[in-house]
A and B are shown apart, each in its own frame.
Chain A
């Protein structure tokens, strides 16, 4: 299969919550500078798989993993990996917009300030502006950068969170149902944004909305009961899926 460059690869990956296996033998390539959607019935392990890509699962009690996740050829589960640096390279945006109760500026600058070498004020302002522009929200907030991020609408807050993720110059952005709490217009803005972001970033998005997966992604992974049923170009998956299970799921025969 032609998927371009593969910067990110999941290899024979298993994950357990205590004794329960939540992911089983997952192997897939995540192509660089493309959008890969993870779809499947709820509880099938989409969020678990997404969190495995930047070791967010580690924060959960009782999680053990087997197998590898390779980023630029290096296994992120190796002992000597710097997890903070890993999460800088692989950022995450969540389902509910979760800005901090601080100003818009501070929200976006947050990750940069947490880093090793905090840039000078002017440089920091540049980073914030670039990130807000990339997140397509600059024009809406440029006159109120020092007002609280909590005053913004849900859709705007979500774009602030995306700007926060972009500020630390990641390579990969993970998004877990980033538009599921938003209205159709705010959703369309996020989708438009995802479309533009893939010029620079590799994006992995979990969505329960099939049409959203069809609209925004280049590749789709279909998961069921913790197993990868099918992975391939979205266009093929939506017109002629290879597996009967995929067909039944995407055409709404179960789920």
Chain B
């Protein structure tokens, strides 16, 4: 007695659009990391344009989700999915912004010789990129277990960020001429850490959508 529902087609469309936007955000992050590690300034400049597309998609998705709520007054899983989409939408948009910030720092750093060989930042970048990818996979396949694993990785990125900060502080104390470059790297690690945080948020939303559990701020029992 399953009945086909008009709302399902609209939900599919809005999900597809969200995934298109997510793919663009993933691309921005990998380009930003690549340009940073390879000191590729042309790559860094391309990023700004992709971010404009993300901003446009974010507004479209938000409007469509609001319109869907107003017209269908969804309940239960439909309601959780739409609320989840609205939150993930804004998480992805901010991830794009962090990619742009990394690219801007990279462009600045490119004007001076490298301060030091990068060790922890590439590791953070790798972890954050993987978390973003896994959080989006967990959304696509509605896989709360995968989402939980993403949340568990967050702490590693936090630790790397603290480590990076401590290391770069010593550079700044010893060599004042290194301050602006060290600050640039600190900002980059801060942006990577935020990308990991936002990927964690996405995973928390996936758990909410599929299991109706709110696990934010470590509330899960």
Contacts and interface: CB of A to CB of B under 8 A. Distances in A.
Interface stretch (B30-38, B77-85, B104-112, B181-189): B77-85
A210 B74 CA distance: 10
A238 interface: yes
Contacts of B78: 251
Interface string B158-170: 0000000000000
Give the secondary structure class of A's interface. helix
Contacts of B3: 252-255
Given A211-B73, A251-B74, A239 B79 contact: yes
Nearest to A250: B75
Interface residues of B, number: 14
Interface in A213-244: 214, 238-241
A251 B76 contact: yes
A248 B3 CA distance: 9
A243 to B, nearest CB: 11
12 contacts: A214-B75, A238-B79, A239-B75, A239-B80, A240-B76, A240-B212, A250-B76, A251-B5, A253-B5, A254-B1, A254-B2, A255-B3
Contacts of A25: none
Interface string B74-99: 11111110000000000000000000
Contacts of A247: 76-77
B7 interface: yes
Contacts of A253: 2-3, 5
Contacts of A251: 5, 74-78
Contacts of A250: 75-76
A241 B78 CA distance: 12
Contacts, number: 37
Interface residues of A, number: 16
Contacts of B79: 238-239
A246 B76 CA distance: 9
A3 B201 CA distance: 34
B167 to A, nearest CB: 46
A122 B2 CA distance: 60
A240 B207 CA distance: 13
Contacts of B73: 211
Interface in A184-214: 210-211, 214
B17 to A, nearest CB: 22
A238 B79 CA distance: 9
Nearest to A214: B75
A254 B3 CA distance: 5
B62 to A, nearest CB: 21
Given A211-B73, A241-B76, A253-B5, 10 more contacts: A238-B79, A239-B212, A240-B80, A247-B76, A248-B2, A250-B75, A251-B76, A252-B7, A253-B3, A254-B1
Interface in A60-90: none
A138 B141 CA distance: 57
A238 B80 CA distance: 10
Contact of A238 (B1, B2, B7, B75): B75
Contact of A210 (B5, B7, B75): B75
B171 to A, nearest CB: 51
